[in-house]
Amino acid sequence: MLEVASRIDRVVVHPGAAMVTRIASATLTASGEIAFVGLPAGLDEDSLEVEVSGPARATGVRSTLAVVTADAGGSDADRRAAATRLAELTAERASLKASLAALAGLAPVAPAGDRAPRPRWSDVVTAREGVLGAASRRGAALKAALAELERAIEAAQRALAVAEERWRRRSSAELAAGSLSRTVVAAVQVDGDGGACALACRYRVAGARWAPSYVARLGDGQVRLELRAAVAQATGEDWRDAQLELSTAAPTRKVALPELPALRIGRAQPAPQRAGWRAPPVGVDALYRDWDAAFRDGVPPAPRLGEEIFEYLDADEPTSEQNLDALRAIAGAPPPAPMAEAAMAPPMPAPMTASRAPMAPGAAPPAPMKKTMMMANAPAQDARRSRAKGEGGGGRRQAAAPPVEEATAVTAAEDLLAFGALYLPGPEAPGRGVLRRHDAAARGAIAADVLSHSRGSATARRQALSARPLPPGCLEPGPGQYDYAFATGGRVDVAADGAWHAIAVASHAAPVTIAHVVSPAVAPEVYRLATVVNPLDAPLLAGPVDVYERDELVLTAPLDETPPGGAIQIGLGVDPNVKVARNLRYREESAGVLRGSLRLIHEVTIDVEHLGGPAAALEVRERVPIPAPDTDEVEVTIDEVVPGWEPWRPEPAAGVAALRGGHRWRLALAPGERRSLRVAYAIKIASKHELVGGNRRDA
């Protein structure tokens, strides 16, 4: 087996998962197996693909689990080294303090015994001076060493704190001893003498999220729209120097195709239960005749019944006689019967009846299967009895057979229907044409506690990633009408630490129109509004947009989902250079022949002024009262509009009624220009009536 060193070349990030492409190169001169080592243990085996470009081709792929036997360094090793260094320095400090305590009790000792000559006083003084001097010099050296050691301990504590923080923020790609990694093995067939080949391995792994964001930089008549994304992943491997694509599609979402049942006229029949698996087909070796004729002499022996049909069963599981009977029935062979009954027994019908629940690979056929097969034979046996009675002429009425007890439904656990763990051996394998289990050897080689710990750690990382809050204002793309992938312009790095990383995706320039909008009846402030047509041939997803003008951040606004070619409107805040003042004059007049009507006259004057700066395109919005649809006692007439205006009917928001009576003026104001707008309208009602809320309409 040839182990190749691979690197991540391309990653497609989906909501909740990522599709990773690894590339490698190797010179292949003979057929064999190549292995991609060090892959995440939690990758989806159903998504495994291996591609070989060059004078060779891949004929099969499988994956195995391996236990990491030694640490590869990283934050965990640094943390342990820092903790060991701190413990050593702490022990050395304790030793120095013990030496200082012993030095403090140092004193001269007088000679013992009565016969010893009494020392002279000068000798005693000299001895005491020597002891005190030695203690002083030794104590000063110990105190200096202790002070230096205290500084070293403080530095070690800071280093340990940094290592602990790095360990808490560590990447999930750092595998400690006892962790699991996956190896993908591909069988390769070399053409001719072989040569240099390019290898690619693709797989899907869970534990990735992304959310879009934008930056709009306003210039002179143009805006540069930058697409960005916040990406977080805990897949078990760092993405280094990888081409990134951010996709809105959800490949792990289960979508069931609709079933169109046949319409029949007759008695209603219970719907048959779906089988979780199908019996092996008959005559599998006939599929390999061309391969045998081209690449092999002779035909391989047929698989032995009961042993090769269910190779995906656990090897250590005993096969009872009852299970062998069920296996023979699935293969289409009749069970062993006594000689007297074997001659007249009809062929065994298909044992999987409609009332049968699906059975999973790896689970032994249950005991009720034999009873179900006997139920299938019951109608044929009754027919034989009837024919025998007709030929013999016996007219005696037979008692009805007791009802046969129905077989109980069998439910299989979710993990037993793991079809992704099965593979079909190649045509050169002895058990070809039979599904086998990938991880049968791995499960026997890896302890159950190691598997449980690895799966628990991966699940905890994915749950922590799912619980991590999004950056402010960001929204994750959900399944909708757009399935599109946004490719980054260059290669990026994303660590598998579960934290959010800002990624630059693309940048596009587009023309922009700056307009000024004001509704003086609501607020006197004039707002600037930038309108941009989506410059991409792809949709813009909902997310926050940071608006910059002259390299200064103006504001952060939400951006709604916009289709290709759609208009984007971004609010730029209040423009203090454009001022608007609204004044209303109101009076009442009697009308009609007998003065039985009342006219409520409203005269609205709006003064606008441009104090300075570039020319402004101003839109002034005003609203005229509209009578209710179910009343004919109120009339509204517009007497005068200077200058002319146009109706304004904005698109209503979801759940909001459409605006009625809206109008707007569109003006072009030069710097220093002042304009006056005027509208007069009258509301006619009966003199004995009054409008709800007052006759004066301020808005």
Least confident of 97-106, 280-289, 363-372, 455-464: 363-372
**429 shares a domain with 305:** yes
Q: Tell how strand 543-549 and strand 567-574 pair up.
A: unpaired
Domain assignment present for 643: yes
pLDDT in tens, 619-677: 999 988 888 777 778 888 888 999 999 998 888 877 788 888 899 999 999 988 999 99
Least confident of 80-89, 323-332, 512-521, 525-534: 323-332
Domain assignment present for 411: yes
Q: What is the DSSP letter of 692?
A: T
Domain assignment present for 525: no
Does residue 399 have a pLDDT over 60? no
pLDDT (mean) for 193-198: 89
Confidence class for position 606, pLDDT limits 50, 70, 90: very high
pLDDT of residue 19: 94
Count the helices and strands in the chain (H runs, E runs): 8, 26
Query: How far from chain centre, in Å, is Cα 151?
Result: 47
Domain assignment present for 550: no
**289 shares a domain with 419:** yes
pLDDT in tens, 569-600: 888 889 889 999 999 898 888 877 666 788 88
* Residue listed under structure tokens 């793991």: 418
Return the structure tokens found at 357: 């629940």
pLDDT (mean) for 540-552: 89
pLDDT (mean) for 678-689: 84
Percent of the chain with pLDDT over 90: 21
- Tell me the C-alpha distance between 439 and 434, whole Å: 16
Are residues 527 and 587 in contact, defined by beta-carbon separation less than 8 angstroms? Answer: no
pLDDT in tens, 507-539: 999 899 889 999 998 889 999 998 999 988 888
∠ CA 265-267-272 to the nearest 5 degrees?
100
Confidence class for position 609, pLDDT limits 50, 70, 90: very high
Q: Which residue has the higher pLDDT, 18 or 373?
A: 18
Task: Kindly write down the DSSP assignment for every residue of 571-609, as one continuous string.
Answer: EEEE-TTEEEEEEEEEEEEEESTTS-EEEEEEEEEEEEE
Does residue 291 have a pLDDT over 90? no
Crossing angle of helices 75-104 and 121-168, in 10° steps, is 160
pLDDT (mean) for 272-300: 72
Domain assignment present for 85: yes
Return the structure tokens found at 354: 């409609």
Q: Tell how strand 32-39 and strand 2-4 pair up.
A: parallel
| Domain carrying residue 140 | 75-108+127-168
pLDDT of residue 271: 76
- Tell me the C-alpha distance between 332 and 301, whole Å: 19
- Tell me the C-alpha distance between 624 and 604, whole Å: 10
Domain assignment present for 102: yes
CB atoms within 10 A of CB 67: 18
Whole-number mean pLDDT of the chain?
76
Query: Which residues are CB-neighbours of 181 under 8 A, at least 6 positions away?
Result: 37, 38, 39, 40, 41, 65, 66, 68, 175
Beta bridge partners of 20: 11, 203
Burial class (CB in 10 A: 0-12, 13-18, 19+), 370: middle
Q: Helices (DSSP H) in 105-229: which residue ranges?
A: 121-168
Return the structure tokens found at 7: 């690197």
Does residue 27 have a pLDDT over 70? yes
Domain assignment present for 353: yes
Number of domains in the chain: 3
Does residue 392 have a pLDDT over 90? no
Residue 131 to residues 112, 137, 550, Cα–Cα distance (Å): 19, 10, 79
Query: Which residue, 148, 168, 188, sits at the end of a domain?
Result: 168
**pTM, two decimal places:** 0.63
Q: Which residue has the higher pLDDT, 236 or 129?
A: 236
Domain assignment present for 368: yes
Q: Which residue has the higher pLDDT, 426 or 495?
A: 495
pLDDT in tens, 198-257: 999 999 999 999 999 999 998 888 899 999 999 999 888 899 999 999 999 888 777 777
3-state DSSP of 71-110:
CCCCHHHHHHHHHHHHHHHHHHHHHHHHHHHHHHCCCCCC
**299 shares a domain with 158:** no
